[in-house]
Chains A and B, each alone.
Chain A
Amino acid sequence: MSINNNSEFKPKIVAFCCNWCSYAGADLAGSSRLTYPADVKIIRVPCSCRVNPMFILRAFEKGADGVILCGCHPGDCHYTSGNFYARRRMTLLFSMLDYIGVENGRTRVEWVSAAEGVKFSATMNSFVEKIYSLGKNVRLEDLRCKN
C-alpha cells in the first residue's frame, strides 16, 4: 500500500462483514495475500442486516475514524433479503450522520462476494485512503460527543 504514513495519524477503522460473502471475501483476500492496511479491523456478523445503526454510532462515539459495512451482492444474500434491509437502513443512517459530526466519507456500504478477494482488498485500500484524506475524526470530538 502506498498510503502516506509520514503523519502520526493511525486511523481506527471498523469493518462489519457478513459471514457468508464478505467475511469469506476477506478470507480469500488473505489467502491470496492481497494486502490492505492494518488499520482495518473486521467484525463478523451473520448478515449485513444484523448491523444495528447503534453499532456504528457506538464505534464513532468510541473514536473510530471510519466504519464500513460489507454484505453479499443484492440478490445474493444468504438470507435472501438481509442486504436490502441493510442498504435501506444505512442510507437513512448515513444521511443523518453529518449532523452529529461524522462526514459522509467516513461511512460506506460495499457488496463483496465470497469470490471477490481482489475487490475486498481494493475496497479496503480505497476506504482507508479516503479516511487518511479526511484525517482524524475531530468534528465529532468537537461536538463533545466523545466520552
Chain B
Amino acid sequence: MQRIGVFVCHCGSNIAATVDVKKVVEMAMCEPGVVHAEDYPYMCSEAGQAKIQAAIKEKNLGGVVVCSCSPRMHENTFRKAAEKAGLNPYMVEIANIREHCSWIHKNMEEATEKAVILMKAAVAKVNLNTPLQAGESRVTKRALVIGGGIAGIQTALDIAEAGYPVDIVEKTPSIGGRMSQLDKTFPTLDCSACILTPKMVEANAHPNINIYTYSEVEKVSGFVGDFTVDIRKKARSVDMSKCTGCGVCQEKCPNKKTPNEFNRGLNNRSAIYTPFAQAIPNVPVIDREHCTKFLTGKCGICAKVCQAGAVDYEQQDEIITEKYGAIVVATGFNMINLDKYDEYAYSQSKDVITSLELERIMNAAGPTKGHLERLSDGKAPKEMVFIQCVGSRCADKRGKSYCSKICCMYTAKHAMLIRDKYPDVNVTVFYIDVRTPGKNFDEFYRRAVEEYGVNYIKGQVGKVIPQPDGKLLVQGSDLLSNKQILKEADMVVLAAAIEPEPGVRNIATMLTASIDTNDFLTEAHAKLRPVESPTAGIFLSGVCQGPKDIPETVSQAGAAAVKAIGLLAKDKLTTNPCTAKADELMCNGCSQCANVCPYGAISYETKLINDHGVREDRRVAVVNSALCQGCGACTVTCPSGAMDLQGFSNRQILAEVDAICR
C-alpha cells in the first residue's frame, strides 16, 4: 500500500462552486492508503505546487492524487512538481473533477458525489502505480516539409536559416503552389509573382534546402525526432542534371492538346511541359498519360531536339528513404468542384468562371495575355457579376459549413482591378456579408466601393441563365430593399469555396495526425498550440490547418518553422515510459502481439527462462520501448495475459472500475 496524498483544487470557483471540496477532502481521508488530504484555491499555482511538494517530503508520500482540471491541462505540471520533491513523476494521478464534473453538473450534491467517486478511482489507481523511468531517444536534425507553396517555402527557408537541413516534397513539377497562379495580391496590389519568385529562387539556392518536385510522400514510420519517410520521386522522363531549361522541347512537341492545369484548363499545353515560365526547377516533365511517345510509341521529337540529351523515356520512379526529426505539413488547398452548383451555369457557359480562373485571365502570362475577355467569343465584357459564398457558409451538404475567408478580399481586389483597367465595365457583387478583418483590409474594401464605384448588393443569386444571345441572366435578390433583381451580365465570376488539397487525408493517415470532418488538419490546441498537430513532431503550416490569406499563411509558416527548430535544437527527447511489457514467465511466444502492433515494436528472442525452478530456452516477446507508443493493442490480444501496459496496467484499470462501481 502506498502512502498517498490527495490534493483538491478549487480552481477559483470553477470547481468549488459546484463541488464541495471540503467534503472531497474529508472522504479522501477515509480511503485506504491516504495519509494526507488538503484543498487549495489554485493547486497549479506556485503556492499550490509548493503545498504538494511540502506534503511529499513531510509525510513521505509514495503517491499523489490531484483532483483538478483535465490531465490534458496540468498532468505535466503536477508531475514536474512531484519530481522536484523527489517523487517519481509517474506516481501522480489526476482526478478530472472540472471538465468531467463541476463544469457539466449543476446540482452540488450530485457533483460532489461524483467528484468523490472520481477521487476514489484515482486513489485506487495510484495505489497500484509503479515508478517509471522515461527513456531517451535521439533527434535526427533534418526537417521535411510536405508541400512547396508559399507556406512550405517560407517554413523551409526559416528552418534552413536556423542552420538545419530541410527537404521540400512537392507533388507538382514546380514549387510555387497556389500563390504562383495569382495575379495581384490584396491589400497592396503588388504582383504575386514579383514577391513569390524571389522566395522560390532563394529556397532553390539555399545550401540547407533540398527540393523534391514531382514527388510524393509514400510511407511514414517512426515517431517524433526519428521519422523514416519514403518519398516517391516520379519519373520526370527528363534528366535533371543534363537539362538546361532551353524550352525547345516544349516548343517542338507536336501534342499540344492537354488542358493546362496551371491555367485551370482554360488553354492547352504540350505533353512535355514546365507549368509556368518561372518554374523551379526549370526542368520540364513528360506527362506520360498524354505523350504520343508513351501512348503509341511513335514520336520522340523532344529527344531528337534536345541538344543536352536530357530526355530519357526509360526513366523509372525512384524511392528515396530519408530520416527526419520533424515534419511540417503545408499541403494547401484547391477550389471545390462546382458540379453541385449548376444553378450558376458553370458547366453550361464558358463565361461563368471561378475567381481563380479570373486570376489567370487577368494575368499577363495567362491564356488571354492579361486581357479581360469572354472565353466564349473573345469580346470585352461590359457587365460583370461576382457571386460570393459559392459553397462557403453553406448549411446543406452540398457545400462547406465554414467561411473560406479569402473571397471577400479577393473579390474586392478583382472588382477594383477591373474598374481601374476598364472603367467602362460595370461590376456588381452579390454578397451575404462582407468580412474584411485584417490590417488595411476594410479600408481596401471601402476603396472598391467608394473610389471605384463597385456596386455591392446584399443578397444571394438564385440562378444564372445563359441567354441565346450569349448573355447571362442573373436572378438574385436585394435583401436591403427587399427586391428581386434580374440583371444581364456578360461574365459571371463565382467565389468558389476553398477546400484542403484532396490528398491531405491520406497524408494525415500516414502521419497519424488528426484531421477534422472538413479535412483540415487539427491543431493540438485551437488557441494555444495552433501550429502543432496533436501528434508529436508534426507541425502545420498554411491552409491545410484552416482557410487563411497570404499574410496569415506566412506568419503561420514562420511559427511552424520555429516549433520545428525548437525540436531539432534538442539532442535528445524523453520518451513516454507508458509502454507495453511482456511477462516472460507467462509469454508462450505465439506472435499475436507482434501481428497487431502498429509500430513493429515487438520482436521475439529465445531466452533462458527460469520458470519456478525449471530452466529452459523459450521464445518470448520483447518490446522495443523506443518504438512502442503505448496504445495497448497487444495487451488485449495476448491470449495468455503476458502483455501489460505500464501506467495503464490491467490491475490499475480494474481498480478504477471497482472504485466506480463500488
Contact = CB atoms under 8 A, between A and B. Distances in A.
Are A and B part of the same complex?
Answer: yes
Interface of A: 12, 14, 19-21, 23-24, 26-27, 29-31, 33-36, 38, 41-47, 49-55, 58-59, 62-64, 72, 75-82, 85, 89, 113-115, 121
Contact of B632 (A41, A49, A81, A113): A49
Interface string B521-539: 0100000000000110000
B661 A38 contact: no
Contact of A55 (B96, B514, B596, B653): B653
A80 B636 contact: no
Contacts of B633: 47, 49-50, 79, 81-82, 85
B564 interface: no
11 contacts: A20-B534, A30-B104, A38-B114, A44-B71, A49-B636, A52-B636, A78-B512, A78-B534, A79-B512, A79-B629, A114-B522
Contacts of A62: 657-658, 661-662
B631 A79 contact: yes
B457 to A, nearest CB: 35
B98 A76 contact: no
A35 B106 contact: yes
B640 interface: no
Contacts of B522: 114-115
B658 A27 contact: no
B70 interface: yes
Interface string B640-662: 00000100101001101110111
Contact of A50 (B107, B110, B534, B632): B632
Interface of B: 70-72, 96, 98-101, 103-107, 110-111, 113-114, 117-118, 121, 509, 512, 514-517, 522, 534-535, 578, 596, 598, 629-633, 635-637, 645, 648, 650, 653-654, 656-658, 660-662
A49 B631 contact: yes
B516 A113 contact: yes
A27 B72 contact: yes
B104 A114 contact: no
B516 A43 contact: no
Given A33-B103, A79-B633, A27 B598 contact: no
A23 B99 CA distance: 10
Contacts of B662: 62
Given A14-B660, A62-B662, A113-B516, A42 B635 contact: no
A18 B520 CA distance: 22
B657 A30 contact: no
A78 to B, nearest CB: 6
Contacts of B535: 78
Contacts of A19: 72
Given A49-B636, A80-B598, A42 B96 contact: yes
B509 A75 contact: yes
A38 B598 contact: no
A41 B103 CA distance: 14
Nearest to A21: B514
B588 to A, nearest CB: 18
A52 to B, nearest CB: 5
Contact of B516 (A24, A36, A115): A115
B660 A81 contact: no
